[in-house]
Chains A and B, each alone.
Chain A
Amino acid sequence: MFYRESGDFKKTYKLDSQTFPIKFDRWRYYFVMLVAFIVVPMFLTDYSANAVMIPFLVWAIAALGLNILVGYCGQLSLGTGGFMAVGAYSTYKLMTSFPGMDMISVIMLSGLVTAVVGAFFGLPSLRIKGFYLAVVTLAAQFFLVWLLNKVPWFYNYSASGQISAPQRELFGIVVTGPHATPVAAYLFCLIFAVGLAWIARNLTRGRMGRSWMAIRDMDIAAEIIGVNPLMAKLSAFAVSSFFIGVSGALLFSVYLGAAEVTEAFSINVSFAVLFMVIIGGLGSIFGSFIGAAFMVLMPVLLKNILVGGLGWPTDLAAHFELIIVGGLILVFLIVEPHGLAQMARVLKEKLRLWPFPH
């Protein structure tokens, strides 16, 4: 019914390798883009932008980045918080040192700085595997946060140790600082989220993505067909950190507006992003988005139901959130290690045949 595939033949390899080979999917994709760019901004309120949409986009970018490293290249990292902090502080330094620089360049450069830092901490990955590597990335997490907290140059010697984003415009529209409208902030994040998702898709479907997956699935076999393990792992670390850096930059400059490194980028951030990736689906770009949506929406819903609806104290709701997140991680790992994205895929397979499954 929905997935009408008969008669939809692919006559060239180019058509065969497109992202949405099925016509229905393609139209749905255009529809989602239309809604995201035109319909959502029309109905965006302060609350829905700040509680749901903007954090969703920012975390989705971080999840995309971590998914490239964990899901595609198979290297577990617990340093996400530290790398996001690098992105945030780079943005702060660039914004305050070069007030004339446009925000797109600022964010992209912050991503590049993070990519360099990430690649540096990825160096041990050649010799260290599995959760040994996870502990090394913990070193990155704690060391980077300590460094950004201890060296006053990074926060321009401000007395509070906080960084706060000055007002900046893009094409004459305010996108950062207290006077930015929710719509402007949302669209600014959306451009990055869509652009980076597109890049992630391109990288993962080509030569580089295959080298990452080869390292993930069987590193020895990857090596004998010419994949240099160090280059594959380092490029995964660099690309992943670039995404995470951009996410940290947006989190600080557009969403939070002000941040203190030990609070905003703690180890809990690393775990939260890892959970998004697991719940959404390891090795799936779509999964990164639904994972982020899930982790953003769930606390909001819980708070609305338990605190708003039942009148429970907030700390109790927060404890329930821990239980639910932890429980869901277990359930997903036991039932469906490939997360929500895999469930969606299975559903789609069924829909393709529906209503005549035989």
Chain B
Amino acid sequence: MSADFLYLVEVILNGLMAGVMYSLVALGFVLIFKASGIFNYAQGVMALFAALTLVGIQTGQVPFAHLINAIFGTNVHHFGWQVPTVLAIALTVGVMVLFAILVERYVLHHLVNQEPIILFMATIGLAYFMEGFGDIMWGSDIKTLDVGLPSGGSRWLEDYTLGWAAEGERYYGMYLDKLDMVASLVAIVLVVSLTIFSQYTKTGRALRAVADDHQAALSVGISLRTIWVIVWAIAGFVALVAGIMWGAKSGVQFSLSLIALKALPVLMLGGFTSIPGAIIGGLIIGVGEKVFEYSIGPLIGGATENWFAYVLALMFLVFRPQGLFGEKIIERV
């Protein structure tokens, strides 16, 4: 095998891994969209907020330390204890559930029956609010998240593939991030368990009923409000998983919330209502932007990853507006 070919394989594999990360965020979007027709722009900020909370609890940060210090002139920052990772994750899940309840009660409940575009803008407002709130609560400095996930490249893979290149070519083996591999595994587990949950549990059936038809679901005695809280809580959990993966990869910082923007084209490709669509859309975008950057990028100045996904989604939308797996939209007069 030629080294060029091996590089391409490596690029594709890395693209797949990056795609998994996008899919993780897109998954949260799909869940909320299916159950409430809301396009939740705040999903990315939820991931940021979840990761911030996790780090904060784990390292024993004093919440609102900044604010307290500014008002009372004190200088508190840490309680001085470390919370075990598992407990910290459990507590963060609790915070995300609480968040879901608050969002339902104070925002969604008042916006029932509004146009989708109004709801979308409301979630942008929610995103700003949460971002400011997260910053005030935990501070806006970049934090490292350590929950014991492996990091760095896989030496084993590098050594194993070293001999694959043709004789005489300079090739150092294939580089894949161990964290990315773990993330892929986690994503698979998450998707499988979500599928099982929605297919085989009573709550799952209720969720699907609501997704199909709000009115009909109400008429058989399903509480919309409860369902929405559950969905937002699950989306919060998915956000936490995404936050952990992204946070462990590149630190917990503001740019984490921008992955929400990347998830948008993923959804355009996969369709807003399809969980497999979100996964495959993420993979296509991940591979597409890596391969484009690898092959065309050097010719036009690089950093094409900033816009490639959006332009791909644009092209795609013009020819198939409902996405790969979305249901065909039939317009009735």
Contacts and interface: CB of A to CB of B under 8 A. Distances in A.
Query: Per the CB under 8 Å rule, do A and B touch in the complex?
Result: yes
A143 B307 contact: yes
Interface stretch (B207-215, B227-235, B309-317): B309-317
A312 B72 CA distance: 11
B140 A325 contact: no
Given A124-B317, A330-B122, A220 B70 contact: no
Interface stretch (B10-18, B113-121, B170-178, B189-197): B113-121
A135 B310 contact: yes
A240 to B, nearest CB: 16
Given A135-B313, A329-B125, A323 B132 contact: yes
Interface of A: 74, 76, 124, 127-128, 130-132, 134-136, 138-139, 142-143, 145-146, 150-151, 220, 267, 271, 274-275, 278, 310-313, 315-316, 319-330, 333-334, 337
Interface stretch (B19-27, B237-245, B279-287, B296-304): B296-304
Given A139-B314, A330-B107, A319 B121 contact: no
A278 B124 CA distance: 11
Interface of B: 39, 66-67, 70, 107, 110-111, 114, 116-118, 120-122, 124-133, 135-136, 140, 258, 261, 264-265, 268, 300-304, 306-307, 310-311, 313-314, 317-318, 321, 331, 333
4 tightest Cβ-Cβ pairs between the two chains A and B:
A329-B125, A322-B132, A326-B129, A326-B128
Contacts of B67: 316
B292 to A, nearest CB: 13
B265 A135 contact: yes
A130 B39 CA distance: 11
Nearest to A317: B70
Contacts of B264: 135, 138
A131 B129 CA distance: 21
A56 to B, nearest CB: 21
B124 A139 contact: no
B314 A124 contact: yes
B122 A127 contact: no
Contacts of A139: 265, 307, 310-311, 313-314
A330 B140 CA distance: 23
Interface of B is mostly: helix
A143 B116 contact: no
Contacts of B333: 220
B300 A150 contact: yes
18 contacts: A124-B314, A128-B321, A131-B116, A135-B265, A136-B310, A142-B307, A274-B124, A313-B66, A315-B140, A316-B136, A322-B128, A322-B129, A326-B128, A327-B125, A329-B125, A330-B107, A333-B121, A333-B122
Nearest to B300: A150
Given A128-B317, A326-B129, A329-B125, A142 B140 contact: no
Contacts, number: 137
A323 B118 contact: no
A267 B132 contact: no
A326 B130 contact: yes
B111 A135 contact: no
B129 A330 contact: yes
Contact of B136 (A124, A128, A134, A319): A319
Nearest to A329: B125
A265 B268 CA distance: 25
A333 B121 CA distance: 8
B242 to A, nearest CB: 19
A135 B318 contact: no
Contact of B307 (A146, A310, A312): A146
Nearest to A152: B301
A141 B231 CA distance: 31
B107 A334 contact: yes
